[in-house]
Structure 1
Amino acid sequence: MVLTILLIFSIALVRSAFSSNILIACSIPSPSHQIWNYAFAEGLMEKGHNITMAGPDAHMHKPSDRYHPIVFEDIVVKLMASKKFDFEGSTDQSAFQSLIALYNYEYLSCKFLYESDGFKQILNYPKDYKFDLIIVDMTVGPCLHPLIQRFNYPPTIGTTAFLLPPDLSFSFGNYLPQSYLPHYHLSYFQNMTFSERVMNFVVANFELAVKYVYEANQIQKLAYKAFGEGMESVRDLEKHISLLLCNLSPAFHYPQPITPNIIPVGGLHARPAGKLPQDIQEIMDKSTNGVIIMALGTNVRSDKLRKLKVEAILGALSKLKQTVLWKFESDFDNLPKNVIIRKFLPQNDILAHPNTKLFISHGGGLSTLETAYHGVPILGIPFFIDQFMLTNAMVEKGVGLKLELSDVTTESLLNAINELLQNKKYSRNIKEISYRMKDQLSTPLQTAVFWAEYAIRHNGSHHLSPKSRHLPLFVSTSADVILFLLLIFALSLGVLVFSVRFLYKFLYSKPGKEKLN
């Protein structure tokens, strides 16, 4: 007994000796990203680290000895009040309009974050307060990068639950090939036609230009006002971020080249089945014909869909023998007998239940990886940004089907559901991907925790950054060399043509006087 107590005490001492103070700074007002970041935070807390979580949804989890939330409050409320976000209407936007809207969203998110009491709270920390590591969510702009300077340049790594955006990849010296990787704002498949590759190239580089304009000008001005003129530029501070952990899974997403300073930890939030609430557990166990879960994520509310769409969806669901659990954010009367609505559903744990047969989803980054992890076929109804590209990838891999919101009718939805339920290839393919996701040396969460601790031990991981991170685009892609060689070729061709024409005239033309004679 005494030895057990001494062992426990020794472990506690060792843990406290190696525990670190870590700040996780998140600016994106999206609860799904907070789910991903908090899963990461839990992994770090299990290793004994103290976490300060600063973000719009940090209050989703209660404070504890190891978890200290700082909430950037009311950002979502102000965003919705400043501009009407019509998710159904956004499906008709061009890629260029969608990109501009996204960077406007980034600008407004930073603006409202700087106005929050939570932001003032973190600025009021003592000047000498020490964080051993800063983890900054880089998905929505660099507005929290100045915290690096504010806390005296501790080791810093970046995260994004938004796959691997091309602009972030480029920021770390990894210029993604546009010849076969479709941009997340385009509804293309991996095998693109020539015209699609042209558009893909234009959109990808248009985003780099828009990112530079917004961040070097508009967000930089906001940051100077919030942090003071003595701060470094956000672009210079970004160079201090030595590593990027991204929500990318080679087992599910398109294979792509990445540099050593970008670590794919896709699906770190996905986990084995947890305990379901009693009412949900009973529903799952008693549904002998299986269960279909329908959830459109945290940013799209099912109860905000147009009435005709809701009626069309219910018309299809009512014809099924399976039980349907629908995440619907308000009360609804006269539901079909097999449809059950809840304002919140424990999505991961429902997907893990053996009776779950199908997932009807918006096709978001976190949801697609959860359903892939648990091996459940998916019907994607995309709304905006990466959801179109992800649902296309699911179709290409034969694990799901895509149905545009504008095409959703009772008949089309019922046909798609029946195809996914009756054709066993979808279940077979998604289970194979699930096996690949789980067949790794370590889990994505363990990998993320390792690299966070690695950055603490080595004062960052700048030694992993390729030279391309510090080179202009035209140099890192050898565009200058290609243009030079093309110029040499063009000049050489010109000289050759001129010489041939000159020799031809010299050899075959006669003097004018001889012609007259």
Structure 2
Amino acid sequence: MAKGKVMVFKKNEIKQCTESVDGLEMDSMLQIVAVLLVVGVGCLVSGELRPLEQPYNILVLMPVSMRSHRHVIQPIAEALALRGHQVVTLTKAPSLTSHPNLTELVVDISLHEEDINFFHMRRHPVTSFFELSRNLTWHARNIYNDSTVRELYLMRKDFHLIITDAYFHDALYPFLHELPFILVSTLGGNPQQSAAVGNIWHPAYTPTVIWDFPRPYTLPVKVFSFLAHVFTPIVWNWILKHPVQREISRQFPHLPPLAEIERNQSLCFLNTQVGLDVPIPLLPTQVPVGGIHLRPAKSLSQELRRWVEGAGSGVVYVSLGSMTRGSHMPRHYRSLFVQVFARLQQRVVWKFEEDVPEASENVLVRRWLPQQDLLGHPNVRGFLSHGGLLSLQEAVYHATPLLAIPVVGDHTRGAAHVHNNGLGRWLTWEELTVDTLLEALQDLINNTRYREEIERVSVRVRDEPQTARDAAVFWSEYVVRHRGAPHLRSPGAQLTWPEFLLLDVAGVLGAVAAVLTFLALNTARTLSLTSPKLKME
């Protein structure tokens, strides 16, 4: 656990950026007006966003977010900055973005990503879950000791809107109290998040955070889904949320419960896409912005272009995501991959964070690769992936079939989506052999039905009335314009579970039925006793 701090700003810059909307110098004001005119004309032509009425101060909190989560939230911050708003981000790692409206505050006070071993988590899920709880508790205990975080907290009311990650950021909820805020569900649809705003998912057809199955669900699957929907939030709250709640209550004794703060969210941005994800009813406070990080492919570097375009039989791209490091892959799996790749007719481009001297001549290994540019190249025939949501979205957008081998967590749901919808193949690590992996890759490349299906889905996800960036900008501004937009919130968010399940109503009706039954039985008994006397008379 890192205990230091790296700052890429001067402290007084925090105050300066929040005051800039009200106290701009004339030159700066003229520049912003010019930018806004350009943006406004463009929006009028496209018909997607109306001209900006006024710039807002917006705070984006993601000091715990992993790289893949930041890839969803950072585009929102960038879109708001490009729109003309003053945006301050609190993050654990600087981005590559440079914009005068965007100020990045970097704090190194959370778990380093290079220390996270997904293969270890796969082998030891229970101990890893408790380890995550300890890390989040440590973070809650120490984050407000950081001078940058503390100063930003004291200035939180200078911001018109706060945006933060819906996952693992409970310790930042004191920032949100009594202010308009938006949560970003970076892992897509989440039954726990949905329940917090009053929209309960039905377990007979909706996926869980981790699992999904072919539809219609069979009876055993419905039983499993029901149990998963019920017990997952119980375990999640007990192991992850309650320890953080204790720490925050100690530091902020007058703060309401974190769950109550979460229920008061103005909106939640969902990393879901209408043409890709399972159709699920949404509330007005649940806005899909899935694929906000997607973009058309750019030209490859000279080295990559020669390698990819020089492959007569095409290329297979291999990446297990931004968080699965090559040094963490067990040696026997690495050896298995090398053997399989050597037997392919295609060339292989492999993202792997170590040198692989034993790799065959048809394999190009690099520590980092431009994934979307590779997936968008017409000579890339297949994508061996871990099944992460962003990789799935990118593969669909660029119409490249997948072979998903999930490592941990929501990867399994992504792999199931690939399999259930004919977008490619799904293997587990336990069933991997040279023959099974080779057969799956050859089937992925040679069977045209996978590419045909993913091309159909790619057309669907691109056919939308508004881009995800424009949707994020519009609804962010909407929340500010309407003072947190409380009129959008469902009254169901305030119901207790007994009230939601109508147990109180069932109790009243049961009591009435019991009284009526008692009266009926008592009347019948009375009549039965009096009828013989009437006959005798």
TM value normalised by structure 2: 0.82
Pick from 170, 179, 195: which aligns with 1:170?
195
- Residues 155 and 397 of structure 1: CA distance in aligned 2, closer, same or farther (over 3 Å): same
Q: Does 1:90 align with 2:90?
A: no
| 1:29 and 1:75 in contact (8 A); partners too | no
Q: Distance in 1 between matches of 2:328 and 2:124?
A: 17
- Once the two structures are superposed, residues 373-398 of structure 1 have per-residue CA deviations (whole angstroms, 9 ceiling, x without a partner) of 11111110001111112211211111
Q: Distance in 2 between matches of 1:186 and 1:492?
A: 46
- Once the two structures are superposed, residues 202-232 of structure 1 have per-residue CA deviations (whole angstroms, 9 ceiling, x without a partner) of 222212323444566311222234x543433
- Residues 239 and 86 of structure 1: CA distance in aligned 2, closer, same or farther (over 3 Å): closer
My pick for the range that moved more, 109-118 or 452-461, is: 109-118
Q: Does 1:217 align with 2:242?
A: yes
Q: Distance in 1 between matches of 2:417 and 2:352?
A: 27
| 1:380 and 1:403 in contact (8 A); partners too | yes
Match of 2:165 in 1: 137
Unpaired runs of 5+ residues, structure 1, are 1-5, 508-517
- The count of aligned residue pairs is 489
Match of 2:358 in 1: 334
RMSD over equivalenced CA pairs, Å: 3.4
- SS, match of residue 41 in structure 1: helix
- Residues 498 and 460 of structure 1: CA distance in aligned 2, closer, same or farther (over 3 Å): same
Match of 1:39 in 2: 75
Match of 2:416 in 1: 392
Q: Distance in 2 between matches of 1:374 and 1:118?
A: 45
- Residues 335 and 262 of structure 1: CA distance in aligned 2, closer, same or farther (over 3 Å): same
Q: Distance in 2 between matches of 1:476 and 1:254?
A: 24
| 2:61 and 2:162 in contact (8 A); partners too | yes
Q: Distance in 1 between matches of 2:515 and 2:407?
A: 51
| 1:261 and 1:465 in contact (8 A); partners too | yes
Map residues 184-195 of structure 1 onto 2, 5 A cutoff.
184-186=209-211, 188-195=213-220
Match of 1:161 in 2: 186
Match of 2:149 in 1: 122
Map residues 376-387 of structure 1 onto 2, 5 A cutoff.
376-387=400-411
Q: Distance in 1 between matches of 2:267 and 2:364?
A: 44
Query: How far is 1:174 from its partner?
Result: 0.8
Query: How far is 1:449 from its partner?
Result: 1.6
AA of the residue aligned to 1:66: N
Q: Distance in 1 between matches of 2:145 and 2:305?
A: 38
- Residues 92 and 105 of structure 1: CA distance in aligned 2, closer, same or farther (over 3 Å): closer
- Residues 237 and 335 of structure 1: CA distance in aligned 2, closer, same or farther (over 3 Å): same
AA of the residue aligned to 2:80: L
Query: How far is 1:72 from its partner?
Result: 3.1
Match of 1:182 in 2: 207
- Once the two structures are superposed, residues 128-162 of structure 1 have per-residue CA deviations (whole angstroms, 9 ceiling, x without a partner) of 5611210011112411111124xxx4421111211
Query: How far is 1:250 from its partner?
Result: 2.2
AA of the residue aligned to 2:96: H
Match of 2:34 in 1: 11
| 2:318 and 2:349 in contact (8 A); partners too | yes
Q: Distance in 2 between matches of 1:438 and 1:459?
A: 32
- Once the two structures are superposed, residues 265-289 of structure 1 have per-residue CA deviations (whole angstroms, 9 ceiling, x without a partner) of 1111111113433322332332332
Q: Distance in 2 between matches of 1:126 and 1:501?
A: 72
Pick from 75, 100, 103: which aligns with 2:110?
75
Query: How far is 1:317 from its partner?
Result: 1.2
Q: Does 1:438 align with 2:462?
A: yes
- Residues 484 and 266 of structure 1: CA distance in aligned 2, closer, same or farther (over 3 Å): farther
Match of 1:510 in 2: none
Pick from 26, 34, 53: which aligns with 2:89?
53
| 1:293 and 1:358 in contact (8 A); partners too | yes
- SS, match of residue 269 in structure 2: strand
AA of the residue aligned to 1:54: L
- SS, match of residue 241 in structure 1: coil
- Residues 164 and 48 of structure 1: CA distance in aligned 2, closer, same or farther (over 3 Å): same
- Residues 446 and 209 of structure 1: CA distance in aligned 2, closer, same or farther (over 3 Å): same
| 1:79 and 1:108 in contact (8 A); partners too | no
Match of 1:108 in 2: 135
- Residues 498 and 178 of structure 1: CA distance in aligned 2, closer, same or farther (over 3 Å): farther
AA of the residue aligned to 1:203: A
- Residues 441 and 363 of structure 1: CA distance in aligned 2, closer, same or farther (over 3 Å): same
Q: Distance in 1 between matches of 2:526 and 2:315?
A: 82
Query: How far is 1:416 from its partner?
Result: 0.5
Identical residues among aligned pairs (%): 25
| 1:382 and 1:388 in contact (8 A); partners too | yes
Match of 1:21 in 2: 57
- Once the two structures are superposed, residues 368-424 of structure 1 have per-residue CA deviations (whole angstroms, 9 ceiling, x without a partner) of 111111111111000111111221121111111110011111110110011111111
- Once the two structures are superposed, residues 320-365 of structure 1 have per-residue CA deviations (whole angstroms, 9 ceiling, x without a partner) of 1222111100112121111111111111121111212111110011
Q: Distance in 1 between matches of 2:361 and 2:120?
A: 28
Q: Distance in 2 between matches of 1:292 and 1:333?
A: 19
AA of the residue aligned to 1:109: L
TM value normalised by structure 1: 0.85
